[in-house]
Amino acid sequence: MASSFADVEYNYRVICENIARAAESVGKTAGDIIFLAATKTVDAATINHAISLGLAYIGENRVQELLSKYDAYDLDHASLQFIGHLQTNKVRQIVGKVDLIQSVDSLKLAQEIARCSQKLGITTDILLEVNIGREENKSGVLPEMLPELVDQVRRIEAIRVRGLMTIPPICETAQENCKFFDNMRHIFLDIKDKNIDNISMDILSMGMSDDYAEAIQCGATMVRVGSALFGARNYNR
């Protein structure tokens, strides 16, 4: 964990500068890129300090952790999203509390989000998660199965698809990374160009602490940055 608020302030400034530089390199501005802080294991006080600096989006990976910190978040000034693997039996615990669920990878999960949303009289925004590296140990729909999932979820009321999300394999070089990011961009743009009802390709969420600059250069509109902002964390807690 970053040792002080001062560390977070410094890291936040550096990340914002890097985002702006990466965006400008491909003819965009920092305002075109959503900087979401991945807040797994980070205490609410530290998260709220980052929000006070201007951070406008936070994302939790685990339902139980999200619930434990929910009342302490400064959600008057930030959007809370869910970015981790979501089990259908836990959907009802977060629907209505989060603005976006980024990790929808099955019709069953989409249907449960819709069912819980209808009960609350709301529409929940979602991203479809793509397993771009075809890794057996990762969630996400395979690229060739995505068109079918898109066609299925577009018919469901009370959810709204806003785009795609991915976590590519760990790569040794930026060039390898960019192959996966480029593939995602092409998939994203292909769906966007089809102008499908109830499918708005506004968000391409990809890139994390080690590769967010490359992701932006390859077309990401949202990056999910954790350790680069908050410091190394103990995931065994």
Q: Could you state, in order of their start, the residue ranges of all structural domains in the chain?
A: 5-230
At 177 the pLDDT is 84
Per-residue pLDDT band at 3 (split at 50, 70, 90): low
pLDDT of residue 234: 64
Rounded to the nearest 5°, which phi and psi values hold at 49?
-65, -40
Which pLDDT score is estimated for 134?
A: 93
pLDDT at 105: 97
Q: Residue 86 in contact with residue 66, Cβ under 8 Å? A: no
* Spatial separation of the C-alpha atoms in residues 67 and 46, rounded to whole Å: 17
Tokens of 114: 């819709």
CA dist 15 and 32 (Å) reads 15
Architecture of domain 5-230 in this structure: Alpha-Beta Barrel (3.20)
The pLDDT of residue 237: 45
* DSSP label of 224: E
Instruction: Tell me the C-alpha distance between 87 and 93, whole Å.
Output: 11
What's the pLDDT tens digit per position in 136-159?
A: 889 999 999 999 999 999 999 999
